Amino acid sequence: MASGQLLGDETTFQAFPTHLHQFVTDHIPQHLDLNVQSSLYPTYKSTKPISFVTHNFLEW
């Protein structure tokens, strides 16, 4: 793998919101009696490839 090259694509993090929700739910002490709720923004078509966005984000 070349320096700065990332593996993955637009599907890489599809399950992340579900996994994060479950992780947080599982790790909040029961005595706190909290209910975890999560929301997802709808997907939208981007005008440039994900690699362009990734590069700019890493440069930032």
Q: Encode pLDDT of 30-56 as tens digits.
A: 999 999 998 888 877 878 888 888 888
Higher local confidence (pLDDT), 7 or 37: 37
Does residue 36 fall inside a structural domain?
yes
Does residue 2 fall inside a structural domain?
no
Structure tokens at 15: 């399950």
Mean pLDDT computed over 25-29: 96
Does residue 4 fall inside a structural domain?
no
The answer for residues whose C-beta is within 8 angstroms of residue 21's C-beta and 6 or more apart is 36, 38
Does residue 19 fall inside a structural domain?
yes
pTM comes to: 0.55
Domain containing residue 16:
10-56
Does residue 1 fall inside a structural domain?
no
Does residue 5 fall inside a structural domain?
no
Does residue 52 fall inside a structural domain?
yes
Structural domains counted in the chain: 1
The pLDDT mean for the chain works out to: 84
